[in-house]
Amino acid sequence: MAQDNLSVPFAETLADSEALARSLSDLETRSGRFGTALSGALKSATLSGKSLEDVLQGLGNRLTDIALSAALKPLEGAVSSAASSLVGSLGSVTAFADGGVVRSPSLFPMGGNSLGLMGEAGAEAILPLARGADGTLGVAMTGGGEGTTAPIIFNVTATDAASFRKSEGQISAMLARSVSRGRRGL
């Protein structure tokens, strides 16, 4: 257990030393840029005959650009990191506008600050809802094109088996009419 306690500060120290090395390298690069800008300004003054004021103003502008670039570098990294983590936390987005099946536990927003959990006890279906002609909300079944079949439902209320047998003729006639309408595409 003591070994674990020692390894954490060592890891932090290692990370700090790597960050220090990166900072020193960045500082060295920037000081090189400063030297180049200063040399270029003085060379320009000598060769082109510019006034010292113009040379110093150009040098000041160049140094301001270098300083501003250095100051905005951490902000650029933070914004980039935040955007990457936001996109990474979303993972992939799956749309269920036409329905679907959730096979593993998944969280979803419920509005406000609430979250819902689906698929926690096995596969769950997502079914799109539609309003019927009478205004009721329910699962809509859409008929397809050729080769698809729509269910035909008959509700038969019979008091006993004998009355059910008497209604067989009526059920057969209704089924024949439904099949005929289906063939016509109604």
Residue of 7, 67, 74, 81 whose CA lies nearest to 37? 67
Q: What is the pLDDT of residue 146?
A: 58
Do residue 15 and residue 84 come from a single domain?
yes
Do residue 79 and residue 102 come from a single domain?
no
Percent of the chain, pLDDT > 90?
Answer: 0
pTM beyond cutoff 0.75:
no
Do residue 72 and residue 151 come from a single domain?
no
Do residue 19 and residue 60 come from a single domain?
yes
Do residue 26 and residue 12 come from a single domain?
yes
* Rounded to 5°, angle at Cα 20 from 6 and 36: 170
Question: Exposure pattern of 68-78 as b/e (b: 16+ CB <10 Å)?
Answer: eeeeeeeeeee
Whether 4 has a pLDDT exceeding 60, the answer reads no
Do residue 149 and residue 134 come from a single domain?
no
Q: Which domain holds residue 175?
A: 145-186
Do residue 14 and residue 78 come from a single domain?
yes
Q: What is the pLDDT of residue 91?
A: 62
Do residue 36 and residue 23 come from a single domain?
yes
pLDDT in tens, 135-175: 888 876 665 555 566 677 777 787 888 887 788 888 888 88
Do residue 122 and residue 54 come from a single domain?
no
Q: What is the pLDDT of residue 137?
A: 83
Do residue 13 and residue 72 come from a single domain?
yes
Do residue 101 and residue 155 come from a single domain?
no
- The number of distinct structural domains making up the chain is 3
pLDDT in tens, 48-59: 777 777 777 777
